[in-house]
Each structure stands twice: as structure tokens, then as C-alpha cells.
Structure 1
């Protein structure tokens, strides 16, 4: 009986076979080349939003430098010819130990970014955490996933009725877990966006979960009605940039463009979103209410301090994501990988701990697992793949990460994920 070569060798072989007839990968297989190709393919606004970080970018550098401080120590002749990359996390089976992270305002990169991501996830079997800041209603994105599992991100609104509505929709659409993002109660200082005066949500991009929500649109109608009874609203200046923004708002609002240009609802929806989408007063008391508001496993994303990790688990939260939001919120924040080590030591081996921020390659996934992550979330790289080659680009990025992880395990002498422990690393 012939042995399976594993996803790493299969991916390599496919690329080399295609190369014989002159067909090369659509998405570069090395992280730096992928990033360069994506920058060339994206608009300035898209690149600023997706690739940009907080302040001087120190947290983004911290994330990468943390990975550079660890080295893998391969072991020989261990018989790791057959490898198992699968893992079950909170009842969700992962064919490889990662899922696609929620990335907001993907419409900057592709008009149907959420659907493109969902279709790529379904084609590869990799679960996807739907973004709360998507352009496509979660029900449509769930349909595109087919049988592949998905989780749902939640930004905690200032309107509690909207929180319940979004949770209910996530449950009805078959989400397997609820991922509450904690670290964006206000937006961080993001110079790349600020220098362009660019906030996608203000142009109607990335608010599709809201404009498809009955409760939210009720708030919008209340706003429109109140405005009609009050003083006439100040008309925006008729300049090209203002016209482009109004067209963008109308184009991304449900319904026909012509109709949307004749009604105040699209602009009112944007204004309502900007006022309600995230709650600066979010507290542990809010989190404690979730056990009575959903039957889904609850995961808190944005944990960096061991005491916060302990408190989350004491409240009955099912899992945590160690994350600094890809370096987009606090400049000079601790690297997620460094925080992961401290958090895992604090909560012990049995707690469910995921990690994101700084993950670019299969080797990065290996290191994160060795330092205590049960799985990781992959963010920017798949968006870069989308920018370069649409759905095919996302699929290739996923396949490349899986392949490199598989080959790293083979060459390090590790046959399964449970064997990826700190003993396989040394600190430089």
C-alpha cells in the first residue's frame, strides 16, 4: 500500500508539474513577495487599511521580531513519514490548525470579499471567522461556506438590542462559535488611513451586516424620522470627493443605486453605524451576560495579559484569542507571540487558547503551536492573496500555509500536532 505524500509534497509536486508547461503560482509562495504583489494590486486606500498599523508600526515589528527570536531544532530518523495536521477546537474540526481571521472592510480589496473568502474556505475545508464588519450579510456568506464550519465575530454595539439581533442571526446561520473582539472599543491611531482621510465605513463599505439587520435599520428609520422633524440637515459641499463618497455610500447600501441616491436612508445608515458599532464602555459585566444570551461557545479575542485570560475563563468563557489586532490598535504593544507564552503558562494546558498577529507562514504556525496555541488565525496573507488573484489567490495562500506546516513537521521529525511542544524550539 502506497503512503500518502501529505499536503506539503502534493502542493510542491503540483507547482513543479505546472511549471513544466510554464504555469506559475498566481500568488507568490514567500511572504515578502506576496506582500509586494498585493501592494502593487491594491488601491492606496485598500493598502493603507489592510497593511497599515498603529502609530509608528512598532507593534507590527514586535510581532515579527518575536517569531525571529525562536528557532526550530529538527530531529532526525523519527519516522514522521505520515503526519496528522488535524485538530478539533471547541467542537469545530480543523483539517489544519488554523482558521481564516475576520478582516473588516474587505470590499476595499474585492467587492465580494466575504463571499470570495467563504468560497475559498469551502474549497479548502478551512473554517472562516466571519467579520462583523463585512460587506455581505452573514446569511449569504454562510450559504457560500456549504458544509465547512464557520464562526462569527461580534463587535459589541452601544445598542444592546443590536447585540442580541446579531447573536441571533449568527446562531440561525449555523455559526459554531461567537468570537467577541475586545480590543477595538475605539479605533487606534492609524496614520496610513488618517493621512488619506480614509475610513471605509464612512463611505458605506464594511457595514453590510448592519444594513441587513432589521433591528439596525429600525434605528436608521428612527434617525431619518427625527431628522425630518428637525432643522434641515446641512448639505455637503458639492465637490468631486464628496460626490464620490455619496456614490460609494449609495452603491454599497441594499437596493438600487438610483433609488438610494434619492433617499436619506443610506447616509443615515452610515451615521447610525458610526455612532453605535462599538461600545467604549464594554466591561466584564457585559461579557458575563453572554451565557444567558447564546448557546454558542464564546471566545474572547484581544487578550494579552495573563490576568485577563484567567478572568475570562473564570467567567465561563470557552476560549480566548491572544491578539494585538495585527498591530493596528496600540503602538508599542507586546507581541502576540510573547503574550501567548505568558498566557499559556497562566491558564495551564487544558484551556482553549488561539493566537493571531504576525502569522505569515506554515513555519510561523509551527512556532505558535509549540509555544502554546491550540490553533491560529490567519489574516493579512489571505487578503493579499485575494488582491493578487481573487479566490484562486486565497486558495493558494491557504494551500501554501498548510504545505509548509506539513513539510516543517516532516523535516523537524514531528508526526502530529500534540508533539509540537516547546522542546522543539530554542530561544535565540
Structure 2
């Protein structure tokens, strides 16, 4: 789609509209990288089916004429209980990449999580003025880990999020079939001094990104690694990739300020529990000792409300942001975040919820729906 066509196109009225525009704009191999998941993609479908299975029980006569979506996430003000999830290599879908997405986050008033594998440096993303958190993949090179944490702190990031569910990259068959590799203008800007790495070289019968991360990421992490990270930073520490309530409890006992209930958008263990189904038990285990965020499968404001009702403080929004970025750059991401906030506000009002506190008190039921 040309710039002129984008300017003439009607504004999207749903995230499905944005998704269709993104698919039309992207190379098929890049689209598969964005949309794909591991194995048979069972978890990708199950994440959505699990949201469909949650029914809200609205309240009436609460006097709510317009809901207030504002909240605080990890001590930061947020216009709604949403942060943009850490996602790698955003220049794959738009030349401005993370810079455009972070600027849209600033405009929308939500935090932006910078990935270790972002295609712009954390320092350059932070100066957009967005509230930024930094996501860390623990690397084999411990000195590089320490350097990344120090850089995030110096750049003004307000939280550190460590991802713990990638001892190795899940086998993503779309990428394997496509022999997917990064184009040379896209690189992990926080890690690479030059453009050529394993991620740029095609490997027969494998994903170049899987080869690259296998070489770079530290396998076999333990709670000792988390304790070391906790001792190294004074930033709020978030542990992403929790599904078992025992791990959630262990994380907060080890000093984590928050956990993210996540199955990595279906991109890691194929067959894992849907994140939203794991959420209530995790929230109960954490209690008031930390914040609980939900990641994986969020596709609109009503999903955000369901997450709040099930015990989350907020959600991470992933693929829809990439759709917006691909379809229209910064403006496209603004449209996605605007659609989510509009739907959240309307859903909260229709459910009789004045604010996030009231949303957390909604009852839910399971419908028994299946994909």
C-alpha cells in the first residue's frame, strides 16, 4: 500500500481491520514471522479460545456514565492498564520500527517495553519520551547482561523485565519452512556492533533467528540467576513467562515486584496452558505481594477487562501493535491503542465499572466455548 493509499484509506474500526491491512502490507515471510507460533500452533489458537471462554457478569445501577481507564503500572501513570509488549526487530515491519511504536505509546500514555532484540538502541527509544521498561534475555556473556542492565538504567528505563521461558527458542515451523533470516538492514541494535550475524544468514532447514538465539542466550537459568539480577538493580523487577502459581510465588519471594503470566504468545512450548486460564491461580498465589500482568492473546479492550476481572493489574499488548506499525507506522500504532482504549472504556461502562478497582471486582464465568 502506497503512502497516498494509506492517507485515503478509511480509519479502521476494529483490530481485525488493522490486521488485514498489515497482512496486505508485509512480505509473506515477515507476516509468518509475526503471526506464527511454535509446533502445530495449538497454543496460539488456545489463547484466543480461552478468552472467548471467559464471560463477564456485569453490574447495573452503579451510576457509571463513563468509565475511567487510568491506572498505575509499576508505579508509573498509565492512561489504561496496557503496556506494549517487548517484541524483537520491529524494523522488519516498518522502517521506523520501535521509535514509531514508542512515540505512539507516549501519545497514548502507556508504557513501552524495549526488547533486548530491538532494532533500535534502548538509548534512542528512551528519548522518544515514552515511559520505557527494558526486557532482558539473559545472555551467555554475563558481562553483556550487566552492561545491558546498566544501559537501561542510564537511559531512564523505569523497570527491568526478565524473560524466563526461553531456554531455547520454540521450533516455529513457518520460519523453518521459509528459511527465515533477517534482512541486512535489521539487526539487534543493543547487541550487535555490525550488521552481519547468524540471524542474517540462511540455514537449510532451520530459522536463522533460532540459530542466533541459541548461540547468544544462556540456557539452564535458575533462581540463583534471578537473585543475582535482583541484587544488581534497584529498578522494579518483573519476571515474564510465568504459568505455574508455584513459580509466581517463588518469583515474588525472590524479590520480584511483578510477574507476567505468559506463554510467549504461543511461540514457546506448544501445548502449554493458555495464559488467561493460568491467571487466576497466579494472582491468588501472588496476593498483594506484587503486581500481576497478563500477556498472550489480548486482542482488544474487552480482553483487558476480562484480565482485570481475573486478577491482573494490566496486560501486555503484542501482535496488534505490530499490525498497526506495519499498516501505518506511528499513526497505525496510535489507532490500535485508541481502538483498545475505546473498547475498554465502553466495556467497563457497560459492565458498570467506574474504574480499574471496580473492574477487579467483577465476577466471571466460563462459557464452555471452544475454538
1:85 and 1:319 map into 2 onto residues whose CA distance is 21
Whichever of the two has the greater Rg, that structure is 1
1:374 matched to 2:313? The reply is yes
SS of the counterpart of 1:415?
Answer: coil
Of 5, 10, 15, the match for 1:24: 10
1:211 matched to 2:192? The reply is yes
1:178 matched to 2:160? The reply is yes
Say if 1:80 and 1:389 are closer, same or farther in 2 by CA, change over 3 A: same
Instruction: Output aligned runs, 1:26-425, within 5 Å.
Output: 28-144=12-128, 146=129, 148-200=130-182, 205-211=186-192, 274=213, 276-421=215-360, 423-425=362-364
1:427 matched to 2:366? The reply is yes
What is the TM-score with the length of structure 2 in the denominator?
0.89
2:20 and 2:181 map into 1 onto residues whose CA distance is 23
Say if 1:94 and 1:426 are closer, same or farther in 2 by CA, change over 3 A: same
Q: Deviations over 1:159-180 (max 9, x none)?
A: 1100000000000000000000
1:421 and 1:298 map into 2 onto residues whose CA distance is 23
Contact 1:155 1:277 in 2 (8 A): no
SS of the counterpart of 2:127?
Answer: helix
1:82 and 1:377 map into 2 onto residues whose CA distance is 24
2:219 and 2:267 map into 1 onto residues whose CA distance is 17
Contact 1:186 1:280 in 2 (8 A): yes
Question: Could you list the runs of 5+ residues in structure 2 that have no partner in the other structure?
Answer: 1-7, 203-208
2:206 is aligned to none
Say if 1:350 and 1:314 are closer, same or farther in 2 by CA, change over 3 A: closer
Greater share of helix? 1
What is the TM-score with the length of structure 1 in the denominator?
0.78
Using the TM superposition, name which of 84-93 and 380-389 deviates more. 84-93
2:273 and 2:211 map into 1 onto residues whose CA distance is 34
2:278 and 2:59 map into 1 onto residues whose CA distance is 27
Contact 1:105 1:134 in 2 (8 A): yes
SS of the counterpart of 2:218?
Answer: coil
Q: Deviations over 1:196-224 (max 9, x none)?
A: 01133x85734111126xxxx8xx9xx9x
1:172 and 1:84 map into 2 onto residues whose CA distance is 33
Q: Deviations over 1:243-268 (max 9, x none)?
A: xx67x9xxxxxxxxxxxxxxxxxxxx
SS of the counterpart of 2:293?
Answer: strand
1:203 and 1:197 map into 2 onto residues whose CA distance is 15
Say if 1:271 and 1:380 are closer, same or farther in 2 by CA, change over 3 A: closer
Contact 2:67 2:346 in 1 (8 A): no
Contact 1:45 1:108 in 2 (8 A): no
2:315 and 2:131 map into 1 onto residues whose CA distance is 16
1:172 and 1:349 map into 2 onto residues whose CA distance is 30
Contact 2:96 2:329 in 1 (8 A): no
Q: Deviations over 1:404-427 (max 9, x none)?
A: 100111111110111113633222
Alpha-carbon offset, residue 93 of structure 1: 1.4
1:423 and 1:366 map into 2 onto residues whose CA distance is 9
SS of the counterpart of 1:164?
Answer: helix
Alpha-carbon offset, residue 121 of structure 1: 1.1
Alpha-carbon offset, residue 77 of structure 1: 2.5
Alpha-carbon offset, residue 275 of structure 1: 6.0
SS of the counterpart of 1:211?
Answer: coil
